[in-house]
Structure 1
Amino acid sequence: MPYLSRIRINPLRAASRTLLASPRAMHAAVQGGLPGLPDQARTLWRLDGDNPHRPHLFVLTTDKPDWTHLVEQAGWPDADGEHYAVRDYTPLLQQLATGRRFAFRLTANPVQNTNRPDKPTLRQQERLDAGQRRSFRLGHRTATAQLNWFLTRTERWGFDIPSASHLDTTRTADGEPPRDVRITTRRRRAFGKGSLTAKEAQVVMHAVTFEGSLRVTDPARLTERLLAGIGPTKAYGCGLLTLAPLAERA
């Protein structure tokens, strides 16, 4: 049974600053809330910093978690209020039906595979000079490319993005009305992977948050993406798609 959790983070605490600055540290903290072995539990997480003074951590787990350790280390353990909430995710999944609309939020790492990088790194150039044919995974760096990455993949994820009714008077470059999706944050992250120091042990990602509305086209595919995540670097805060029902229009 899947569970969606929301945890309040106190950004002024020393442990919080470490977690907020390091996706690797946050991943370890998330895994620490699960009763099973780390390699047996599939998790997705996302850090929402709409209010930097009150960031929230969202986590999707296959087993029911306990976030007491996060509250004690990075929250307000002695304060009033709900420090974290854990909800059964099944009722939302049961609402998925073709044509149903939802508000959504997704933080993803838009990437492309190429055999010839425009500006190869030293390590990539060494591989090219050695004649290695394996393709390179490179992050999209511009907002236009990142948005195109998203819009060209929604069909395989089981949904489409309707036009933005409040922008019906405008048109895109190809004459189509704009879609109801926007990029709200873009951030390049680079950090070491484990204790290794080699260049290939570095993780570089472009975390992009998309928000808007979607329309379900294939409930089974969308369910799969909700539970399995979207795109790479899921261990480091990318891939979690969350939905909120929208009022049906008459």
Structure 2
Amino acid sequence: MTYLSRIRINPLRAESRKLLSNPRAMHGAVMGAIPGDQTKERTLWRLDADNPHRPHLFALTQSKPDWTHVIEHAGWPNAEGDHAAVRDYAPLLGQIATGREFAFRLTASPVQNTNSPRTPTPTQTAHLEANADRKLVRGFRLGHRTAAAQLDWFLTRTERWGFAVPVSRTDPAAPGLEQRKSPATHLDAPDKSEAANDGREANAPREVRITGRHRHSFQKNGKGPHVTFHSAIFEGRLCVTDPEAFTARLLEGIGPSKAYGCGLLTLAPIPGRED
């Protein structure tokens, strides 16, 4: 079984402020909801703080979780309402089929691997110097920092993840007016065959946007080395092209830093459309 949970967080409580500011602390709270052997549990989570007064924690777990500790220390334990909604994930997985479209949200950590970082850290410099006489040196994982690079990372990987991001839908030009072409960027160019089949410009923009970008830095284990990574929030519309690969990404996550709130792809019906 797999379960998707949504938990309300009270940002004014001391424990909440700790969880909201430290992905490692939030990871610990999520794992604390798992009964049994946590080391055997594949868990994904994401913090949605669009409304800073009412942030929500989303979590995907294999076991049915118990969020009592989070509600008591970081929620509204005595207030009315649904403090933690836990739903069976199977009905959604049953809707995955080729050609099915969904609205989506994903917080991910776009990265690249390189053997020659532009501004290496002292640790990276020492590693490069120690392995200077070797032809093959294990590359460093570096986070993409610009929105353009992060969007490019996303769009160039959707095929392997089992979905495509459709071309943006635009209204035709008014009578007597020539329709202007969208500005071309290397980020928006889809596959030529897809463009031909779609009947639109090959450089047309896609139905995705970055709605948030963050840099995270905290100490591992509270007193160990600093962990630093960049994340981006992607929102838009997708079309399933490979149900098996897509289902795997839903269950296993996308990209690195999954323990720190990245990788959980959530879906919703497209407003105004009946499937």
TM range (shorter): over 0.9
**Secondary structure at the residue paired with 2:248?**
helix
How far off its partner does 1:36 sit?
1.7
> Is the counterpart of residue 182 in structure 1 residue 209 in structure 2?
yes
Residue 209 of structure 1: aligned partner: 233
- Percent of matched pairs sharing the same residue: 63
> Is the counterpart of residue 232 in structure 1 residue 236 in structure 2?
no
How far off its partner does 1:249 sit?
7.2
Q: Which has the larger radius of gyration?
A: 2
Task: Measure the CA separation in 1 of the matches of 2:219 and 2:207.
Answer: 36
Task: Measure the CA separation in 1 of the matches of 2:273 and 2:88.
Answer: 23
Runs of 4+ that moved beyond 4 A = 247-250
| Aligned positions of 1:162-173 closer than 5 A | 162-166=166-170, 170-173=182-185
How far off its partner does 1:63 sit?
0.6
Unaligned runs of 5+ in 2: 173-180, 187-201
Task: Measure the CA separation in 1 of the matches of 2:253 and 2:138.
Answer: 25
Q: Is the 8 A contact 1:106 1:239 kept in 2?
A: yes
Residue 112 of structure 1: aligned partner: 112
| Aligned positions of 1:15-94 closer than 5 A | 15-94=15-94
> Is the counterpart of residue 145 in structure 1 residue 172 in structure 2?
no
Task: Measure the CA separation in 2 of the matches of 1:195 and 1:51.
Answer: 28
- Tell me the matched-pair count: 247
1:38-85 alpha-carbon deviations (Å, 9 max, x no partner): 201110000001100000000000010010110000000000010010
**Secondary structure at the residue paired with 2:203?**
coil
1:108-134 alpha-carbon deviations (Å, 9 max, x no partner): 000000011011011101111111611
Residue 129 of structure 2: aligned partner: 129
How far off its partner does 1:144 sit?
0.2
Task: Measure the CA separation in 1 of the matches of 2:44 and 2:182.
Answer: 36
**Residues 170 and 56 of structure 1: CA distance in aligned 2, closer, same or farther (over 3 Å):** same
> Is the counterpart of residue 9 in structure 1 residue 9 in structure 2?
yes
Task: Measure the CA separation in 1 of the matches of 2:144 and 2:85.
Answer: 34
Q: Is the 8 A contact 1:190 1:204 kept in 2?
A: yes
Aligned amino acid, residue 93 of structure 2: L
Task: Measure the CA separation in 1 of the matches of 2:52 and 2:223.
Answer: 31
Task: Measure the CA separation in 1 of the matches of 2:171 and 2:204.
Answer: 7
Unaligned runs of 5+ in 1: none
Aligned amino acid, residue 156 of structure 2: T
How far off its partner does 1:202 sit?
2.3
Normalised TM-score (structure 1): 0.95
Task: Measure the CA separation in 2 of the matches of 1:105 and 1:171.
Answer: 25
Aligned amino acid, residue 265 of structure 2: L
Aligned amino acid, residue 176 of structure 1: N
RMSD (CA atoms): 1.6
Q: Is the 8 A contact 1:185 1:208 kept in 2?
A: yes
Task: Measure the CA separation in 2 of the matches of 1:173 and 1:84.
Answer: 43
**Secondary structure at the residue paired with 2:221?**
coil
Task: Measure the CA separation in 1 of the matches of 2:119 and 2:274.
Answer: 49
